[in-house]
A and B are shown apart, each in its own frame.
Chain A
């Protein structure tokens, strides 16, 4: 990209992420990338990918982490807070409105059935997400074994998440390290 990246003001950060939050149906990350890299040119594609790499490495929602990292990059703590509030304002208002509607009409059979249909498809969304993440493991039997063991520990044995996370990440790191040597 030839032109130099633009340094956004706090208001621009807020408005930029407000838009991302409002339109980010079914995956917010592509929208955030489009806004920050292609439309506003706050940072280059490489810088964005680099930032995303960090955010995927840390706990927490990736989009939320990217938002905080991007806000902080331009305006420190005020930037991080502003970008975050921008991202969350519309979705939080919207989901609370949906919650109120659900609470009020949940006893109506048609509404209850409609929500059962929605819930079935929402479960499918998570399964599709899991299958997409797992797809590269087809050629990595060791990784596949780690994934299956993690699944069994949580879904069947119902072990505490913190324990499983520490144990499986340690095992997985040791295995990956031995394979890489």
Chain B
């Protein structure tokens, strides 16, 4: 019974986040962390940052941190429940919306709301970045890696995976210790 109730909690947490994730999963990281670190103490804050990093290193959409949290909580059933829950509600909404989209795609209010959502998303993703950086800047070395990586992401055409690999190698060499 306890297993079922844990899976139900996982489903409830991620289904809720699914409908709040305007601008994608990166907008809801602080709320996700609050839920899985404080409300349900499933992982520690350090673990959360580590799992997020792992998800970034994998191919595919960047919501995979959800899969890893589910895995950590209840192995494979947890991973599947968490993944389907974060995808389900927004997918159903998308499915319904594609049916009626042609009716309002040129509507003035739609363009208005879309323009209005943009600064909110920018603020949310910035808050996610602040939260992650606070957790991952375990010393001057790590903070320096973050600053350099941001510059590389923004101003060079290096593949993101190359930057992640280089940072991992620097970490392994003990630059951060």
Count contacts between A and B, CB distance < 8 Å.
346
Q: Is B8 an interface residue (CB 8 A)?
A: no
Contact B98 A69 (CB under 8 A): yes
| Contact indicator per residue, chain A 47-81, by CB within 8 Å of chain B (1) or not (0) | 00011011111111111110011001100010010
Q: How distant is B6 from chain A, measured CB to nearest CB, in Å?
A: 18
Is A176 on the interface with B (CB-CB < 8 A)? Answer: yes
Complex Cα gap A87–B83 (Å): 12
Tell me the dominant secondary structure on chain A's binding face: helix
Contacts of B95 in A (CB 8 A): 68-69, 72, 77, 80
Task: Check A23 against B116 for contact (C-beta < 8 Å).
Answer: no
Near A by CB (< 8 A), chain B positions 113-138 give 113-133, 135-138
Name the B residues within 8 Å of A64 (CB-CB). Answer: 61, 63, 87, 90-91
Contact check, A113 vs B56: say whether CB atoms are below 8 A apart.
no
Cβ-based interface call for B167 (8 A): yes
Q: Are B94 and A65 in contact (CB under 8 A)?
A: yes
A155 to B133 CA separation, bound complex (whole angstroms): 12
* Contact, CB under 8 Å: B171 / A117: yes
| Complex CA distance for A102 and B149, rounded to whole angstroms | 23
Asked if residues A168 and B120 are in contact (CB atoms below 8 Å), the reply is yes
Provide 30 A-B residue pairs closer than 8 Å at the C-beta atoms, listed in order of the A residue: A23-B59, A56-B114, A60-B89, A61-B62, A64-B90, A73-B98, A90-B60, A92-B79, A95-B55, A96-B79, A98-B57, A98-B58, A102-B50, A117-B168, A117-B170, A119-B49, A121-B145, A122-B136, A125-B160, A133-B118, A133-B121, A143-B118, A146-B120, A150-B120, A150-B122, A161-B124, A165-B20, A169-B22, A172-B116, A177-B112
